[in-house]
Structure 1
Amino acid sequence: MMYLNRLRFIRNAALISLLFFIGCKKKEGVDTVQKPPVEEEVVPALSTIKSGLVDKSATDETAWLFYNMQTVARKHTLFGHQDATKRGVINSSTSWANEQHLPAVSKEKSDVKEVTGSYPVVYGHDFNYIAGWAEGGWFDYERQIAKELTIEAYNRGGINTYSWHYSNPVSKGSFNWNESPVEAVSRILPGGSHHEVFKGSLQQVANYAKSLIAADGKLVPVIFRPFHEMDGGWFWWGKGHCTPAQYKELFQFTVTYLRDELGVRNFLYCWSPGGDYTTLTQYLEFYPGDSFVDILGTDNYGLNANVSNTTISNKLKIVSDYAKQKSKIAAFTETGQQNLTNNKWYTEKLLASMEAQKIEMAYVLVWANTTSSYWTPYKNHSAEADFLQFKSSSYVMFANELKRPMYKHPQ
C-alpha cells in the first residue's frame, strides 16, 4: 500500500510539473490554440457602389453614405429625430424652442442631447416650406433655418433625411386630403393640366439641394423621401386618390426629373409606405421599382399596448429581408409614441420589436418635439431613465457612439 501511494505521489507530481510547464510556455507566447481571425472589411470600389444606386453619377459622399449605412445596419440601428436641433419642448421644467415667436436659442441645442449627452445620428427635415408657393418672412425663416441645421448636422458627422409634406399643387391648399380634397396626381403627371406647376416645385427642390454646401466645400448628401404613406388615404397622393400605377409614375417622374433634367447629385431616394401591410405583396403595392429606390422604409406609429411586438417585428422583417434581397437599405423611417404615455416605450416596444428578430434597419426616426407635443423625453421626464437604457443597448447607436465616417472610405 505504501508503495502504491508513493507511485501515485510521483505520478501526480509529474502531472503537475507538466501542466506548470505548459502554462509557462503559454505565457511565453507558444500557445498552439488558434484564435479566430479578425474579420476584415472588404470595401468595394467606389464605382461599384455607385453602380447600385438610383443615381449612377451621385457625388462620392452620397455613395459612401449609402455604403456605410448599409454596413452599419448589419449590427446597429442609428437613432434619428425629426427637427432634432430645430425645436424642443416647453413646459414648467424646461424651456426652449427655436421658434420665431420665442427668444432665439443656440442651434446646438437638442432635447435628445440634453437627456443622453449625445446628438442623434439622423436629423429629420421637411421640404414643406422649401418647395411650394408659401411666401413671407415666416417661410423665409423656415427655409433658411432648415438649410443651416442641415449643414451643421453634416459638419458634425450626422445624416440628413427630408420628407415632403407637399401642399396640394392643384388647389395650393394643404397636403392633408381632408383639408384639401382635390385630386391632383393625375393632373401633375406629364400631359396633365398642372404638370408645369409640379415641375416648378421640383426645380425648387433641386435649387435647394444644390445650395447645401458644407464646411468642407462638399454638397451635403440628403435622403429624399417624397410621397410617403401612400397606402393610406390621408394625403392627396394616397390610396383612393390615385391608382397604384399613377402613384408609381409620379414617384418615377420625380426621381427622373431631379436626376436627369435638373442634375441633382446628392440624393439617395427613399420610399416608405405606412404600416398596415402584413405581406410583401401588400407592402409593394405602390412600389415604383428597384431602379427608383435606394432605401426601403416604413412608417408605423402603431407600437402600442394593443399591438404585439411580434406583429411589429414581422412587419419590419418584411422590409429588412426585401432590402437585403435587393442589395438596398432598410429603414424605420417614422415612428414614436406621442407624449410617451408609456414610460418604457423605448425599451419595451421600439427596441424589443426591432431586436426580436435582429432586424437590420439602418436607422429609426421618431417625430419632432414641439411646443405642444413630444416624442422623446426631455430632461426630468418620467421616461428619461428608459430612454437612457434604450441608448445603452449595443443594437442602437447615437452620435457619440458612431466611430465610422459616413461620407468617405471607412478605412
Structure 2
Amino acid sequence: MFIYKNEVPCNPNATDEVKAVLKYLSEISGKGIITGQHTQTTVQKELAYIQEVTGKLPALCGFELLSYSPNINYGNASEECLLEVNENKNTLDNAWDWVLNKKGLITFTWHWFSPFGSWDKGFYSENTTFDAAKAVIEGTDEYNALISDMDHMAEHLKPFYEKRIPILWRPFHESEGKWFWWGHKGSDIARQLYRIMYDRYTNVHQLHNLIWVWNSPLPEGYVGDDVVDVISRDLYPLKHTHSDLKTEFDELVQITPTNKLVALGEIGVIPSIPQLSETKIPWAWYMTWSNDFGSTDEWTSKEELYKAYHHDYAITLDKLPGFYR
C-alpha cells in the first residue's frame, strides 16, 4: 500500500502547531487511524455515550458552527430549525474545553445559513434564493454579503489563532452535491468559493492556525493542491456495515496526483479498525456523525464500538501526543 504523507502546509505561514499536527498525521499514515466524533450540541451526548460504552474518548472532536451564522431568519423558521439552532449555541465553549483541558484535536463544520434570502434551515439550497454563482463575482451584493459572513466567522476563529490552536478546517463540505447552497451551482462555483475563503482567511485575517481540508471526491471540482492540506469525503454506508473503505479511498485519491493526506470527513458507521490494521488503507482519521449515528447502537453496535476503541490501530484521546502549549 502506498502511504499518503504530506507534512508541508499549503499555507507557507502556518504555525508550528499546524506543522506538528501534519507531521504527526504523516507519521501515523498506514500505522493507525485517529478516532473522531462530531458533536452539534453543548450537551455532547455522543461523547458521553462513547465513554460509557468504551471507557475512552475519541482523539478528534468535531464541532458545529451553524448557530454562529450571522443571517439566520428567525422569523421564518420551523420549530425544528429553531431547536437545532438553540441547542447548537455556544458550541465553541465546548471546543475550548476540548483543546485546553482534554488536549484533543478539533475540527469544525459550518452548516452556513446563506448570507441572505433564506428561510428555515437556510444552509439547504431549497431554502434560499441566494445565488452562489453571483457570490464569486466581486462587486455584487452576493459577494459583499459572502465576505461579510466570512469576516464574521473569522472573528470567532481568531482567538484560536491567538492561542495557536490548530483547527482541521473543512469549509464548503460536500460541495459535490446540490443540497447545500454552496454546491447548488456546480463544483466550479464551490471551488471558487473555497479559494475566496482561503485568500481571505490566510492573507487578510491571517488565520495561520487552519489546516485546510477539502471535502469532495469529484476530480473535476478539485480546488487545487496549493490551498489544501488534506483531501476528504463523507460516506454513509448501510447500518452495521464496517470495512476498510478501500474502493472509496481509491476513488478519492484520484482527484490529485499529489501525495495528500486522506480523511473521512463524516461517516455514519465507524470503519472496520481490525480490517484497517491489516490492509493499512491510510485514512488519517474518521469522524462519526452526531445524534443517532454517534450516540446509539443503531448504526454501530456497542460491541463493534468497544472493539474499535480498544484496538491497537485506533488512536484514542489517551494515545494522542500534545500539540498545545
Aligned residues: 307
Cα distance in 2 for residues equivalent to 1:235 and 1:177:
5
TM-fit CA distance, 1:133: 2.1
Is contact 1:85–1:110 with CA below 8 Å preserved after alignment?
no
Answer with 1 or 2: which has the greater Rg: 1
2:109 partner letter: S
**Relative to 1, partners in 2 of residues 1:218 and 1:327: Cα closer, same or farther, differing over 3 Å?**
farther
TM-fit CA distance, 1:352: 6.3
Cα distance in 1 for residues equivalent to 2:17 and 2:73:
33
Aligned-pair identity (%): 19
Q: Secondary structure at the match of 2:287?
A: strand
TM-fit CA distance, 1:111: 1.9
TM-fit CA distance, 1:308: 9.2
Gaps of 5+ in 1: 1-47, 90-96, 98-108, 278-282, 338-345
1:265 is aligned to 2:198: no
Cα distance in 1 for residues equivalent to 2:198 and 2:250:
26
Partner of 2:21: 65
Cα distance in 1 for residues equivalent to 2:173 and 2:239:
22
Partner of 1:375: 294
Deviations 1:347-380 (A, max 9, x none): xx643664563211111000113xxx342447xx
Is contact 2:233–2:252 with CA below 8 Å preserved after alignment?
yes
**Relative to 1, partners in 2 of residues 1:397 and 1:322: Cα closer, same or farther, differing over 3 Å?**
farther
**Relative to 1, partners in 2 of residues 1:377 and 1:356: Cα closer, same or farther, differing over 3 Å?**
farther
Partner of 1:27: none
1:86 partner letter: T
Is contact 1:147–1:212 with CA below 8 Å preserved after alignment?
no
Cα distance in 2 for residues equivalent to 1:309 and 1:142:
32
More deviation, 384-393/293-302: 384-393
Deviations 1:154-188 (A, max 9, x none): 122211111121112231331112333x3521121
Q: Secondary structure at the match of 1:211?
A: helix
1:222 is aligned to 2:167: yes
**Relative to 1, partners in 2 of residues 1:361 and 1:308: Cα closer, same or farther, differing over 3 Å?**
closer
Is contact 2:125–2:180 with CA below 8 Å preserved after alignment?
yes
Partner of 1:168: 114
Structure with more contact order per residue of length (Cα contacts < 8 Å, sep ≥ 6): 2
**Relative to 1, partners in 2 of residues 1:251 and 1:84: Cα closer, same or farther, differing over 3 Å?**
closer
Kindly report which structure 2 residues correspond to 1:10-409, keeping only aligned pairs within 5 A, or say none: 52-83=8-39, 86-89=42-45, 110-134=48-72, 142-143=88-89, 145-155=90-100, 156-173=102-119, 174-180=122-128, 182-191=129-138, 192-212=140-160, 218-238=163-183, 241-273=184-216, 283-304=218-239, 309=243, 312-319=245-252, 326-337=258-269, 346=270, 350-351=272-273, 354=276, 357-369=279-291, 373-377=292-296, 383-402=301-320, 404-407=321-324
TM-score for the superposition, normalised by structure 2: 0.82
**Relative to 1, partners in 2 of residues 1:200 and 1:220: Cα closer, same or farther, differing over 3 Å?**
same
